[in-house]
C-alpha cells in the first residue's frame, strides 16, 4: 500500500509523541550522571589558584549550584519547557546561542562526511559485489579492515603529518585561513581546503562500514530469482544492477547510514578537537573538561533529538524504498 499524506502525518505525530518520554528520560539520566561525576565548574572559572571562599560561594549561588540537586533538575526541566537550554558557566552565554553558533560547522563537517561515506561506500560495495574475489573486492576488504581499525585521533594525526606538514598541500588546523582572512569565494575555497582532512578522517570508518554492508546486501539481492529473470529478459547488466537490484539492496544500507548519524556526532568530537574545527563536538569536549553542565546537557539533548529524527527519516525511507513497509 502506498503511503498517503494522512497516514504519513499520523505516523510522524505518533513518533513525535513517543520521542517525548524518551527525550525526558535522556535529560534526567544525563543530568544525574553529569552532576554525580567528580568536579566543580566554579573551580574552572576562578582558575588555578586558591579562590577566596566567598568568591566561590557567590559564583555557586549565581549559577544555582548551591541548591539541592533535585531542585536544580526541576528548574532545568522548567526552562526546557520554555525552550531555554540554560546558561553556560564557562562561556557566560546562553546555551542555545552557543550551540547555534557552533552547529553549522558540525553540520558542514558531519554532513560532508555522511554524504561521502554514503555515496562512496555504496559505490565501492556495489562494484565489489559485481566482481566478488576480484582485485577491487580485495581492495575493498583491506580498505574496510583499515577503516574500522584506525582510531580517528591516530588517523587525523597521520593525515596532518603526511598531507599537511610533509606535502604541504592542505592546512592543518581550523576552518579558515586566519592570516589571509579571505572573503567571498576565497573564503569558500579556504573552508573547502580546511574541510578535506577532518572530513577524510571522520569518513573513513563509516565508508568502510557502508561499503561492506552494501557489498553483502547486493550479493544477496543479486542471487534472487527476479534478478535472474531480469537478466533472462535480456536487460543490460547495468540496468539489472542499478535499476532492479540496488533499490532492494538499499534497506540495510539506509539502516546503517541512519545509524551512522548518531556516531558521526560522537566521532566529530574527536575530529573537531584534533583539527581545531569549531563545531559542537569541540564545544562538548571543552565543556566536559570545564564541567559546564548546561552546555553538556544542551548538546546531549540536541544530539539525541538528531538521532530520533534520523531514525524517523530512516523509517520513512524504508517505506519509500519498499512499498510493502506500512506506517502502522
Report the site for another protein in 104-133 (rule: CB under 8 A). Answer: none
User: Would you say 25 or 104 has its CB closer to another protein?
Assistant: 104
- The answer to the question of residue 183 lying near another protein (CB under 8 A) is no
CA distance 45 to 60: 11
- The answer to the question of residue 46 lying near another protein (CB under 8 A) is yes
- The answer to the question of residue 55 lying near another protein (CB under 8 A) is yes
Report the site for another protein in 269-288 (rule: CB under 8 A). Answer: 273-276, 278-279, 282-283, 285-286
- Identify how many contiguous H helices and E strands the chain contains and give both numbers: 13, 2
Q: Which of 130, 215, 244, 291 is the binder for another protein (CB under 8 A)?
A: 291
User: Would you say 70 or 154 has its CB closer to another protein?
Assistant: 154
Helix axes 293-321, 246-274, angle to 10 degrees: 160
325's CB contacts (< 8 A; 6+ apart) are 318, 319
How many of the chain's residues bind another protein (CB under 8 A)? Answer: 54
Residue 261, CA distances (Å) to 103, 202, 286 in order: 14, 12, 22
Q: How far apart are the first and last CA of the chain?
A: 11
Q: 194 with 171: CB under 8 angstroms?
A: yes
Maximal C-alpha separation, the chain: 85
Least Å distance between CB 296 and another protein? 13
CA distance 304 to 30: 11
Task: Supply φ then ψ for residue 87, to 5 degrees.
Answer: -125, 130
User: Would you say 173 or 314 has its CB closer to another protein?
Assistant: 173
Q: Which of 109, 144, 160, 301 is the binder for another protein (CB under 8 A)?
A: 160
- The answer to the question of residue 92 lying near another protein (CB under 8 A) is yes
- The answer to the question of residue 161 lying near another protein (CB under 8 A) is yes
- The answer to the question of residue 43 lying near another protein (CB under 8 A) is yes
Q: Is the dihedral of CA 136, 141, 144, 146 positive or negative?
A: negative
- The answer to the question of residue 39 lying near another protein (CB under 8 A) is yes
Report the site for another protein in 206-245 (rule: CB under 8 A). Answer: none
User: Would you say 288 or 325 has its CB closer to another protein?
Assistant: 288
Stretch that binds another protein, among 13-21, 43-51, 110-118, 209-217 (CB under 8 A): 43-51
CA distance 258 to 256: 5
Q: Is 91 helix (H, G, I), strand (E, B) or coil?
A: coil
Residues at the site binding another protein, with contacts judged by CB under 8 A? 37-40, 43-53, 55-56, 58-59, 62, 89-93, 98, 101-102, 157, 160-161, 164-165, 168, 171-175, 178-179, 273-276, 278-279, 282-283, 285-286, 289-291
Amino acid at each position: 500500500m502506498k503511503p498517503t499524506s494522512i497516514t504519513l502525518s499520523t505516523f510522524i505525530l505518533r513518533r513525535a509523541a513517543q520521542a517525548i518520554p524518551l527525550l525526558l528520560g535522556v535529560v534526567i539520566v544525563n543530568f544525574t550522571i553529569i552532576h554525580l561525576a567528580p568536579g566543580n565548574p566554579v573551580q574552572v572559572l576562578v582558575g588555578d589558584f586558591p579562590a577566596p571562599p566567598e568568591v566561590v560561594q557567590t559564583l555557586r549561588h549565581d549559577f544555582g549550584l548551591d541548591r539541592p540537586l533535585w531542585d536544580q533538575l526541576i528548574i532545568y526541566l522548567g526552562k526546557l519547557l520554555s525552550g531555554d537550554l540554560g546558561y553556560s558557566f564557562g562561556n557566560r552565554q546562553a546555551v542555545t546561542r552557543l550551540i547555534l553558533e557552533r552547529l553549522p560547522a558540525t553540520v558542514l563537517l558531519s554532513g560532508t562526511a555522511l554524504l561521502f561515506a554514503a555515496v562512496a561506500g555504496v559505490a565501492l560495495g556495489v562494484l565489489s559485489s559485481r566482481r566478488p574475489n576480484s582485485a577491487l573486492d580485495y581492495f575493498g576488504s583491506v580498505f574496510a579492515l583499515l577503516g574500522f581499525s584506525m582510531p580517528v585521533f591516530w588517523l587525523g594525526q597521520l593525515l596532518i603529518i603526511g598531507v599537511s606538514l610533509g606535502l604541504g598541500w592542505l592546512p592543518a588546523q581550523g576552518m579558515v585561513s586566519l592570516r589571509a582572512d579571505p572573503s567571498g569565494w576565497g573564503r569558500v575555497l579556504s573552508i573547502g581546503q580546511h574541510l578535506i582532512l577532518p572530513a577524510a578522517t571522520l569518513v573513513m570508518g563509516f565508508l568502510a562500514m557502508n561499503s561492506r554492508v552494501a557489498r553483502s546486501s547486493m550479493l544477496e539481492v543479486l542471487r534472487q530469482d527476479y534478478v535472474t529473470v531480469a537478466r533472462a529478459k535480456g536487460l543490460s547488466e547495468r540496468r539489472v544492477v542499478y535499476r532492479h537490484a540496488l533499490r532492494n539492496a538499499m534497506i540495510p544500507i539506509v539502516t546503517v547510514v541512519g545509524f551512522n548519524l548518531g556516531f558521526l556526532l560522537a566521532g566529530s568530537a574527536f575530529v573537531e578537537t584534533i583539527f581545531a574545527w569549531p563545531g559542537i563536538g569541540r564545544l562538548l569536549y571543552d565543556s566536559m573538561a570545564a564541567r559546564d553542565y548546561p552546555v553538556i546537557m544542551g548538546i546531549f539533548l540536541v544530539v539525541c533529538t538528531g538521532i530520533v529524527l534520523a531514525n524517523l527519516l530512516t523509517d520513512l525511507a524504508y517505506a519509500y524504498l519498499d512499498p510493502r513497509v506500512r506506517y502502522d
